[in-house]
Amino acid sequence: MISNNILNDLNYNEKKPSISVLFESSFSKEIRILLKENQIMSEHKTPYPIVVEVFDGCVDFGVEGKIYNLIKGDILTLEGNVPHDLKATSDCIIRLSLSKLDSVNRVKGVLKL
């Protein structure tokens, strides 16, 4: 068993989203993204399907140009190669589930777009 707590060590970065690995299992990588209000992750896409959960706060989640207002507790799945972006409408905690084949560095690279 592997475990962690998504609320451990919440260190929001004032200048950019904060991305950390919660754990890596034999089949997935669980990532925590901390966004301060008005922080963005520019449009990007992943080669593999993802699961996104809004653990706390609110975020505008753009998918191929359409904005979805997500709130605490919302969870979604997105196929690979679908353009998407995020803008926090309040401080928020996002849980991102990646395929084992995907790279955490790719996610961190989104911050440089």
Q: Which domains does the chain have, with CATH numbers?
A: 18-104 (2.60.120.10)
Q: Which residues contact 61 (CB under 8 A, 6 or more apart)?
A: 52, 67, 68, 69, 70, 76, 84, 85, 86
Confidence (pLDDT) at 44: 94
Residue 113 predicted with pLDDT over 60: no
Residue 79 predicted with pLDDT over 80: yes
How far is it, in rounded angstroms, from Cα 21 to Cα 110?
Answer: 15
Confidence (pLDDT) at 11: 95
Residue 38 predicted with pLDDT over 60: yes
Tell me what the pLDDT averaged over the chain comes to: 95
Average confidence (pLDDT) over 70-86: 98
